[in-house]
Amino acid sequence: MTRLARLLAGALLLVAGPLGAQEPLPIFDAHAHYNLETGRPVSVEEVFSLWHRAGIRAALLTSRPNEGTRELLARTPPGVRTVAFARPYVVRSDVNTWFRDPARYRLLETELARGIYVGIGEFHIFGQDADSEGFARVVALAMRRGLWLHAHCDDYVIARIYALDPGARVIWAHTGMTVALARVAQLLDAHPGLHGELSYRSGLPRAGDLPVEWRALFLRHPDRFLLGSDTWVPERWPEVPAIMEDYRRWLAQLPAPVAMQIAWGNGARLFLGGADPGAH
Ligand SMILES: [Zn+2]
């Protein structure tokens, strides 16, 4: 073998691991809910067992109410990493009213005073609701405390957040769900602090070929996308390993370093100081 061939073989081995023993891509789950509002969806032990089966080595927690997040955070076993976001929610109907409800703003302040959170969200807001004084107040609160926002919203709201503060760091839940890809690309180009989380995002295949427009967007912005399980209802929990397999099918169609960035690297860089995924 020439020196170059040996180097190449070594590099391939690093990416793929020894033949036959290929590890599934490790995953940073940037959209995990342990909602306890209507009862426990699965036990804490089952959460970590599902994550183990799914290859999830780290998760961004956000729950309704915040007790679920705090419980998982406190009981995270060695080998798994968790980071927490605070939600302005106690019950489901809060998703429509939180930004004009002073009691929910106070809830956020109380939660944030615990000092365990790195962001606010996931919250829901659409269109001109983002022009409200209450929303501006929450964005200002996040900026003052150096926190992320995890926003389930349309492109109007993303533009509004950046009009309020060009330095905002945002996870766009579902990458806008159905917002036109050209608009998503435009917003990513314009705002370096914007990151797209991909659960339920329309246009991504469960099986089959990754559309060329998506491939182009991932190659243009490999450092701006994250995966998520979005366990928003109890039925979603048992599906978590299958959801991650669906992601891995289209990730396998991207260059290996890009797939690794989207699956693990971006979440680890943004929230874990660049930690490696560790042993499974
Ligand atoms: Zn969600």
pLDDT digits (tens, 9 = 90+) for 104-126: 999 999 999 999 999 999 999 99
Q: How far apart (Å, rounded) are the C-alpha atoms in residues 247 and 207? A: 9
pLDDT, tens digit, 9 for 90 and up, residues 205-246: 988 999 999 999 999 999 999 999 999 999 999 999 999 999
Domain CATH for 155: 3.20.20.140
H or E element that contains 161: helix 155-164
The set of residues, in sequence order, having a beta carbon less than 8 Å from that of 279 and lying 6+ positions away, is 79
Instruction: Assess if residue 202 is contained within a domain.
Output: yes
Res 269: pLDDT: 98
> What's the 258 CA to ligand 1 centre distance in angstroms?
25
Counting Cα atoms < 13 Å in the Cβ hemisphere of 156 gives 8
Instruction: Assess if residue 20 is contained within a domain.
Output: no
> What's the 121 CA to ligand 1 centre distance in angstroms?
9
> What's the 59 CA to ligand 1 centre distance in angstroms?
13
Domain range holding 126?
25-271
Q: Which residues pair with 32 in a beta bridge?
A: 61
- Return mean pLDDT, the chain: 93
For the entire predicted model, the pTM comes to 0.91
> What's the 230 CA to ligand 1 centre distance in angstroms?
5
Instruction: Assess if residue 11 is contained within a domain.
Output: no
Q: Which residues surround ligand 1, an ion (CB under 5 A)?
A: 122, 230, 232
- Over residues 73-91, the mean pLDDT reads 97
Q: What's the DSSP call for residue 128?
A: G
Q: What's the DSSP call for residue 11?
A: H
Instruction: Assess if residue 99 is contained within a domain.
Output: yes
pLDDT, tens digit, 9 for 90 and up, residues 131-159: 999 999 999 999 999 999 999 999 999 99
Is the separation of the CB atoms in 148 and 167 below 8 Å?
Answer: no
Res 278: pLDDT: 80
Strands of the sheet with 148-153, listed across from one edge: 27-32, 56-61, 81-86, 117-125, 148-153, 170-172, 194-197, 225-226
Q: Which residues of 118-141 are buried (b: 16+ CB within 10 A; e: fewer)?
A: bbbbbbbbeeebbeeebbbebbee
Res 14: pLDDT: 46
Instruction: Assess if residue 227 is contained within a domain.
Output: yes
Q: Read out DSSP for 169-217?
A: -EEEGGGGTTS-HHHHHHHHHH-TTEEEE-TT-TT--SSSPPPHHHHHH
Instruction: Assess if residue 13 is contained within a domain.
Output: no
Neighbouring CB atoms inside 10 A of 192's CB total: 13
Instruction: Assess if residue 12 is contained within a domain.
Output: no
> What's the 262 CA to ligand 1 centre distance in angstroms?
19
> What's the 231 CA to ligand 1 centre distance in angstroms?
7
Instruction: Assess if residue 9 is contained within a domain.
Output: no
**Number of domains composing the chain:** 1
> What's the 82 CA to ligand 1 centre distance in angstroms?
16
Q: Are strands 117-125 and 81-86 parallel, antiparallel or unpaired?
A: parallel
